[in-house]
């Protein structure tokens, strides 16, 4: 019997020795985010019934401030959390947002966002859970930009919005390059599930950067198949915001333009329609 | 594809070699399991707006297990196939094929050793449990080597090391450890005593990923990170006549995990829930039983404080758990009794389950009671269940009443303090008609004013013979006036079991660690095949 107790003690001692001998702390420094010429598109997957999503939005808003506006955030409502409440004023889910979610893949959990259309490390899909956002955004920002985008919006005499976008290619590019244009709206007050709220639902939640319309085809509009270094490309598009039924206040709208190649975002820029 | 060919080649070559040597000692068996789902869109119950309903229309999962035995050797492999499967994420579809498992095992007189993917457990599984439950897409086997040695005087030593897997890839860490167990006795008291340890060694890529994330934390939220983490456990099982008592206490050090209930400060001055931590975790589990001839008592208790143990600290998925802490509530077989299930809260929980079983001639009375609290004493779940059962030679009656108080905010990740209080009366009648013919009818009601309101369920199962079983059921959601009918049959023939069922199923939320996964309603046809060879 004593021998067996000795074995048990020896087994414990072995683990204790291993435990106490492990001084393998990882040294690292805390840093603050740095912004550069590269901007990052964050497509946040949301739904008015998603109780964790407001925390995700709060995190993104804070990151947007920390990264000095290098982030361009779009919130699109799709998936099973996106069915409106019977008391909801709006239905932010549209055929286009449903199609976009099918294209990008449904998240395994919420909050979730697609960062610069790069694949999530933990799976094969694009959506990433919030505990990887800071590092993914930081990695995407550290990339040397391949394109520079300049946007200009003009309100025409007939109160249409004219968006002029000018691209400067910073390196030679072969293969199809696509342009994508989203129309967003801020300041929409409506119901939203929120884990932090005592009732679980906030009646007057402010929904910002909500994707209202994908102006280009969902896979983008082809710009060309080959671009030389320092080549420029300029184009424009004119929109009658009143023609979109789901736009509530045109003054709260903005447009974002992002360029993709091989389904990855190369650069993104945002312009308010009524700055 | 390459892996599949390698696997098939491996099996064929091995067979050829063995058959040349001694054909008589060779034994091969296998199991093929497949589930096919066909979508029938139903917007009323929410079975819509996913790729499965809108685009693919069908999907399935299949697993082929092959085992070969030769003298002291055992060779096993499993081929996995997922085609438009809704098992991984019901809101999406998943398609992939490959080798899910392979294992070579040699068993000696007083030892055995295995290489490849292996399963195992230390103690009751608090610090390490590697297992598979493919219907939930769980297979957290470890790719490496495991050995067990049976020492004199009923002592046993188990050691293992390898990389945990998830689906078809390996996680970027090593997991190694072992268990020492001794079965001994003092007079008529039988004991099984042991200790175990499990260590994780993170790959540099995992460390980099963690640093990339936590380096942006504010100083007050700084996390100490370590290249390795340690978990230790001590356990003892005691049995003395009618009395039995099991207990296990575990601790975990330096392990990085995501605490979804911990606040983190943001640059904006606001704070959000969720940050990484490496604080020490503790878990305690005990089970106590008294089994007299006339009556038996059972008591089970659990205490958990920060005991998340995953192969991927970024994951919220139960597939990545390296341990297993069972939920305290009993496994429920009746549909509506299983509607609100209190999942184990790995971040913090203290819970108790009590049970009394009292047989009286042909009657059996069972009382069970579950209480689950958070570590701050806030109530998470209560369950009180009184069940009566009567059996005679050809029939059985079961009846009972259950009361549940379920914290929906916590278990389903909803805000506020949403609680569901429900009464669930239930009844079942089983009758053996003649030969293999039998009939089972069951019914339950879930009576509540919260959530979806009252639910009613009635089901029938008729076994025509030992081959054919037919079933029919319907659930009614009173508040929305929705019916969920289901029906189909199973055929058992040869070495197989084959099923065809039309299913309509209510939706529900499944949340874990602050991250919610929505299990949409199901509407469609399910075909199942299970055959041995």
B529 has a chain A CB within 8 A of its CB: no
Query: How is residue B365 annotated by DSSP?
Result: E
User: Does the pLDDT at position B16 exceed 60?
Assistant: no
Query: How is residue B77 annotated by DSSP?
Result: E
Q: How confident is the model at residue A12 (pLDDT cuts 50, 70, 90)?
A: low
Alpha carbons B262 and B264: distance in angstroms, whole number = 7
Q: How far is CA A32 from CA B213, B216, B242, B336, B467, in A?
A: 12, 6, 63, 51, 68
Q: How confident is the model at residue B481 (pLDDT cuts 50, 70, 90)?
A: very high
ipTM above 0.90, yes or no: no
A81 has a chain B CB within 8 A of its CB: yes
A134 → closest Cβ in B50, B216, B317: B216
Instruction: Name the A residues in 49-68 with CB < 8 Å from any B CB.
Output: 50-52, 55, 58-59, 61-63, 65-66
Look over chain B and give the mean of its residue pLDDT values, rounded to a whole number: 89
Contact B414 A1 (CB under 8 A): no
Instruction: Name the B residues in 146-165 with CB < 8 Å from any A CB.
Output: 151, 153, 155
What pLDDT score was predicted for residue B1?
A: 45
What CATH class is the domain B122-326?
mainly beta
Residues in B touching A3 (Cβ below 8 Å): 153
What pLDDT score was predicted for residue A6?
A: 67
Mutate to test the interface with B, among A44, A62, A69, A138 (most CBs of B within 10 A): A62
User: Does the pLDDT at position B4 exceed 60?
Assistant: no
Query: Could you read off the pLDDT of B186-231 as tens digits, one per residue?
Result: 999 999 999 999 999 999 999 998 998 899 888 889 999 999 999 9
What pLDDT score was predicted for residue B51?
A: 85
- If you write DSSP's letter for every residue of B190-249 in order, what string do you get? EEEEEEEEEEEEE-HHHHHHHHHHHTTS-GGG---EESEEEEEEEEEEEEETTEEEEEEE
Residues in A touching B479 (Cβ below 8 Å): none
Contact A105 B92 (CB under 8 A): yes
A166 has a chain B CB within 8 A of its CB: no
Contacts of B355 (CB under 8 A, 6+ apart): B297, B298, B299, B330, B366, B367, B368, B369
Residues in A touching B92 (Cβ below 8 Å): 105-106, 125
Residues in B touching A106 (Cβ below 8 Å): 50-51, 89, 91-92
Using DSSP's 3-state secondary structure scheme, residue B268 falls into coil
Contact B180 A50 (CB under 8 A): no
CA–CA min distance A124, chain B (Å): 9
What pLDDT score was predicted for residue A11?
A: 65
Mean per-residue pLDDT, B415-420: 80
Query: Could you read off the pLDDT of B449-470 as tens digits, one per residue?
Result: 988 899 999 999 999 999 999 9
Alpha carbons B516 and B263: distance in angstroms, whole number = 18
Does residue A254 contact residue A171 with C-beta atoms inside 8 Å?
A: no
What pLDDT score was predicted for residue B13?
A: 46
What pLDDT score was predicted for residue B192?
A: 94
Q: What's the burial of B472, exposed, middle or buried (CB within 10 Å: 0-12/13-18/19+)?
A: middle
Q: What's the burial of B510, exposed, middle or buried (CB within 10 Å: 0-12/13-18/19+)?
A: middle
A21 has a chain B CB within 8 A of its CB: no
Beta bridge partners of A129: A112
Q: How confident is the model at residue A1 (pLDDT cuts 50, 70, 90)?
A: low
Closest CA to B172 of B121, B227, B236, B246: B227
Q: Domains along chain A? A: 40-272 (2.60.40.10)
What pLDDT score was predicted for residue A105?
A: 86
What pLDDT score was predicted for residue B20?
A: 47
Q: How confident is the model at residue A3 (pLDDT cuts 50, 70, 90)?
A: low
User: Does the pLDDT at position A23 exceed 90?
Assistant: no
User: Does the pLDDT at position B10 exceed 80?
Assistant: no
User: Does the pLDDT at position B2 exceed 50?
Assistant: no
A24 → closest Cβ in B227, B273, B415: B227
What pLDDT score was predicted for residue B517?
A: 53
Contact A25 B317 (CB under 8 A): no
Query: Could you read off the pLDDT of B246-266 as tens digits, one per residue?
Result: 999 999 999 999 998 888 887
What pLDDT score was predicted for residue A216?
A: 94
What pLDDT score was predicted for residue B50?
A: 83
Does residue B127 contact residue B232 with C-beta atoms inside 8 Å?
A: yes
Kindly state the tokens that stand for A187. 């300041």
Query: How is residue A27 annotated by DSSP?
Result: P
User: Does the pLDDT at position B34 exceed 90?
Assistant: yes
What pLDDT score was predicted for residue A20?
A: 55
What pLDDT score was predicted for residue B436?
A: 87
User: Does the pLDDT at position B407 exceed 50?
Assistant: yes
B415 → closest Cβ in A107, A129, A194: A194
Closest CA to B52 of B43, B40, B44, B63: B40
Mutate to test the interface with A, among B51, B204, B274 (most CBs of A within 10 A): B274
Q: How confident is the model at residue B19 (pLDDT cuts 50, 70, 90)?
A: very low
Does residue A47 contact residue A14 with C-beta atoms inside 8 Å?
A: no
Q: How confident is the model at residue B513 (pLDDT cuts 50, 70, 90)?
A: very low
Residues in A touching B232 (Cβ below 8 Å): 12, 15, 19
- If you write DSSP's letter for every residue of B441-508 in order, what string do you get? EEEEEEB-SSTT--EEEEEEEEE-SSSEEEEEEEEEETTTTEEEEEEEEEEEETTEEEEEEEEEE--E
User: Does the pLDDT at position B367 exceed 90?
Assistant: yes
Instruction: Name the A residues in 227-266 with CB < 8 Å from any B CB.
Output: none
B207 has a chain A CB within 8 A of its CB: yes
Contact B227 A26 (CB under 8 A): yes
What pLDDT score was predicted for residue A36?
A: 73
User: Does the pLDDT at position B12 exceed 50?
Assistant: no
Pick from A131-140, B10-19, B124-133, B217-226: least confident: B10-19
User: Does the pLDDT at position B520 exceed 80?
Assistant: no
Kindly state the tokens that stand for B198. 């499990």
Contact B416 A200 (CB under 8 A): yes
Kindly state the tokens that stand for A272. 């308010």
User: Does the pLDDT at position B29 exceed 80?
Assistant: yes
Alpha carbons A73 and A67: distance in angstroms, whole number = 12
What pLDDT score was predicted for residue B418?
A: 82
CA–CA min distance B417, chain A (Å): 7
CA–CA min distance B392, chain A (Å): 48
Alpha carbons B134 and A9: distance in angstroms, whole number = 38
**For residues B353 and A124, which has the higher predicted lDDT (pLDDT)?**
B353
């Amino acid at each position: 019997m004593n021998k067996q107790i000795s074995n048990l003690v020896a087994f414990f001692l072995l683990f204790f020795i291993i435990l106490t001998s492990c001084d393998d702390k990882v040294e690292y420094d805390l840093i603050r985010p740095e912004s550069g010429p590269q901007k990052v598109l964050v497509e946040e997957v949301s739904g008015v019934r998603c109780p964790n999503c407001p925390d995700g939005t709060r995190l993104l808003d804070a990151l947007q401030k920390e990264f000095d506006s290098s982030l361009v955030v779009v919130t699109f409502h799709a998936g099973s959390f996106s069915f409106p409440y019977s008391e909801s004023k709006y239905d932010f889910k549209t055929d286009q947002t449903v199609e976009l979610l099918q294209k990008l893949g449904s998240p395994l959990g919420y909050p979730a966002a697609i960062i610069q259309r790069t694949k999530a490390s933990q799976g094969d899909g694009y959506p990433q859970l919030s505990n990887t956002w800071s590092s993914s955004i930081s990695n995407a920002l550290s990339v040397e930009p391949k394109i520079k985008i300049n946007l200009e919006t003009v309100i025409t005499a007939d109160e249409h919005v004219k968006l002029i976008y000018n691209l400067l290619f910073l390196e030679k590019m072969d293969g199809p390059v696509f342009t994508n244009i989203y129309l967003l709206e801020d300041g929409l007050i409506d119901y939203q599930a929120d884990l932090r709220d005592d009732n679980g639902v906030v009646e007057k939640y402010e929904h910002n950067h909500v994707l209202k319309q994908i102006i280009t085809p969902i896979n983008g509009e082809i710009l060309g198949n080959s671009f030389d270094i320092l080549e420029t490309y300029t184009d424009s598009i004119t929109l009658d915001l009143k023609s979109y039924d789901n736009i509530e206040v045109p003054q709260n709208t903005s447009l974002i333009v992002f360029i993709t190649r091989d389904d990855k975002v190369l650069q993104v820029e945002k312009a308010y329609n009524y700055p | 594809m390459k892996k599949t060919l390698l696997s098939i080649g491996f099996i064929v070559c091995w067979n050829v070699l063995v058959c040349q040597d001694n054909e008589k000692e060779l034994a091969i068996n296998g199991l093929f399991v497949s589930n096919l789902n066909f979508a029938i869109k139903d917007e009323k119950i929410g079975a819509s707006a996913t790729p499965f309903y809108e685009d693919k229309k069908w999907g399935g999962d299949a697993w082929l297990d092959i085992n070969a035995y030769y003298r002291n050797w055992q060779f096993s492999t499993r081929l996995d196939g997922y085609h438009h499967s809704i098992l991984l994420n019901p809101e999406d579809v998943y398609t992939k094929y490959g080798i899910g498992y392979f294992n070579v095992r040699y068993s000696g007189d007083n030892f055995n050793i295995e290489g490849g993917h292996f399963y195992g457990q230390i103690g009751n599984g608090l610090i390490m449990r590697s297992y598979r439950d493919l219907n939930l897409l769980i297979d957290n086997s470890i790719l490496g080597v495991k050995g067990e040695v049976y020492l004199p005087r009923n002592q046993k030593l188990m050691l293992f090391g390898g990389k945990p897997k998830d689906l078809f890839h390996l996680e970027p860490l090593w997991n190694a450890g072992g268990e020492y167990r001794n079965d001994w006795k003092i007079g008529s008291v039988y004991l099984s005593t042991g200790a175990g340890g499990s260590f994780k060694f993170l790959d540099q890529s995992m460390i980099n990923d963690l640093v990339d994330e936590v380096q942006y934390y504010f100083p007050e939220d700084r996390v100490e990170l370590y290249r390795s983490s340690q978990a230790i456990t001590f356990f003892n099982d005691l049995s003395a006549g009618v009395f039995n008592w099991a207990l296990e206490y575990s601790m975990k050090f330096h392990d990085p995990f995501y605490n979804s209930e911990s606040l983190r400060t943001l640059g904006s001055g606001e704070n959000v829930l969720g940050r990484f931590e490496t604080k020490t975790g503790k878990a305690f589990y005990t089970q106590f039983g008294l089994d007299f001839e006339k009556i038996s008592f059972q008591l089970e208790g659990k205490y958990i404080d920060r005991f998340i143990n995953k192969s991927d600290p970024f994951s919220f998925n139960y597939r990545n758990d390296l341990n297993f802490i069972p939920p305290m509530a009993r496994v429920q077989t009746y549909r509506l009794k299983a509607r609100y299930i209190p999942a184990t809260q790995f971040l913090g929980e203290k819970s108790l389950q009590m049970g009394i079983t009292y047989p009286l001639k042909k009657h059996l009375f069972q009382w069970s009671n579950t209480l689950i609290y958070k570590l701050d004493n806030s109530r998470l779940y209560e369950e009180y269940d009184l069940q009566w059962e009567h059996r005679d030679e050809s029939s059985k009656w079961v009846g009972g009443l259950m009361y549940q108080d379920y914290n929906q905010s916590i278990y389903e990740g909803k805000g506020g303090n949403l609680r569901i209080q429900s009464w669930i009366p239930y009844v079942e009648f089983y009758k053996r008609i003649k030969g293999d013919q039998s009939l089972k009818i069951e019914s339950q009601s879930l009576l509540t004013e919260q959530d979806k309101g009252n639910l009613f369920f009635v089901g029938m199962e008729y076994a025509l013979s030992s081959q054919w079983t037919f079933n029919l059921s319907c659930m009614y959601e009173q508040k929305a006036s929705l019916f969920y009918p289901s029906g189909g049959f199973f055929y058992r023939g040869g070495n197989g079991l084959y099923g065809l069922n039309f299913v309509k199923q209510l939706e529900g939320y499944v949340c874990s660690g602050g991250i919610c996964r929505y299990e949409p309603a199901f509407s469609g046809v399910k075909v199942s095949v299970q055959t041995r060879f």
